[in-house]
Amino acid sequence: MLPFLHLGPFHLPTFGLMLWCAAVAAAFVVDRAFKREAIAADAVGMVAVALVAGILGAKVWHVLDTPADFQYEGWRALIDTAGFAWYGGLTFGILALVVQGVRARIGAIRTLDLCAPAAALGYGIGRIGCLLSGDGDYGIAIQPVHLFGHTFHPWGMAFPHGLVPVFVPVYPTPLYEFGAGVLIAAWLWWRAGKPHALGAILGQYLALSGAARFLVEFIRRNPRVLWGLSNAQLASAGAVVAGVALAVWAARRPAFTPPQATAPAGKTA
């Protein structure tokens, strides 16, 4: 891991660098999505506003989720470079996109449909920042797995020089989440280019990303708060339920085809 890049007198946090990379990638994907559906709105500006809102939401959610940090650090906890909660970022980011989508006359749900692949990809890239910085968003210590009479030893990583050091091999959950984010983004991008109803892509994003986070939490270090589940798992379960409900609702609505998918060969809408 490499928490900081040392460039002469400057110390660049790798988490911040990967957050910037995630924002650039997300802006590119949203811009392509807008072009695919012949929308003239400013995709880069919308992503920038959503990013700022998401960072604020991630910090607020983290403070509410771990009040001990706020008691120890005070208001400085809101500007600390460590401690971000994904669901806080997701909630505030969604609200920012909804407001901007309505103002741009795109529509709230359609805006979120268009941005869903970018959100999945950006989340995955951001998790590489967690891995590089060793900020504690990794899993529990590796334990032998006994299955069908065989013993398996999963691969793990130690983070002795991380911001939150750990000296025994643990599950590198940021890598798992990066892989899941890329796969979900690829699926949503492909699906968004096919005929689909309003809300279908958003529903699939919520269901798939929620399920991925719910599963990875079983090997994360987060404390259990209810029914043996962590706060993130409870929020993930809610996302899955909302996503399935939205997908069912969308399935009853007429599908539309993106303009580019109906353009003649060699031409784009």
Residue 267's pLDDT band (cuts 50, 70, 90):
very low
- What whole-number distance in Å separates Cα of residue 220 and Cα of residue 79? 24
pLDDT of residue 72: 55
Q: Is residue 5 part of a domain?
A: no
pLDDT of residue 60: 74
Range of the domain at 169: 13-140+160-262
Residue 151 is given by DSSP the state E
Residue 269's pLDDT band (cuts 50, 70, 90):
very low
Is 240's pLDDT higher than 90? yes
Is 230's pLDDT higher than 80? yes
pLDDT of residue 191: 94
pLDDT of residue 99: 93
Q: Is residue 167 part of a domain?
A: yes
- Per the DSSP assignment, residues forming a β-bridge with 151 are 146
Q: Is residue 182 part of a domain?
A: yes
pLDDT of residue 266: 44
Q: Is residue 193 part of a domain?
A: yes
Cβ neighbourhood burial of 59 (10 Å; 0-12, 13-18, 19+):
buried
Is 251's pLDDT higher than 80? yes
pLDDT of residue 222: 81
Higher model confidence: residue 8 or residue 208? 208
How many C-beta neighbours within 10 Å does residue 33 have? 24
Q: Is residue 147 part of a domain?
A: no
Radius of gyration of the chain (CA): 20
Is 49's pLDDT higher than 80? yes
pTM of the model: 0.83
Q: Is residue 152 part of a domain?
A: no
Q: Is residue 116 part of a domain?
A: yes
Is 41's pLDDT higher than 70? yes
Higher model confidence: residue 73 or residue 44? 44
Q: How many residues does the chain have?
A: 269
Average pLDDT over residues 169-179: 94
Q: Is residue 207 part of a domain?
A: yes
Residue 89's pLDDT band (cuts 50, 70, 90):
confident
Is 58's pLDDT higher than 60? yes
How many distinct structural domains can be found in the chain? 1
CB–CB of 237/210 below 8 Å?
A: yes
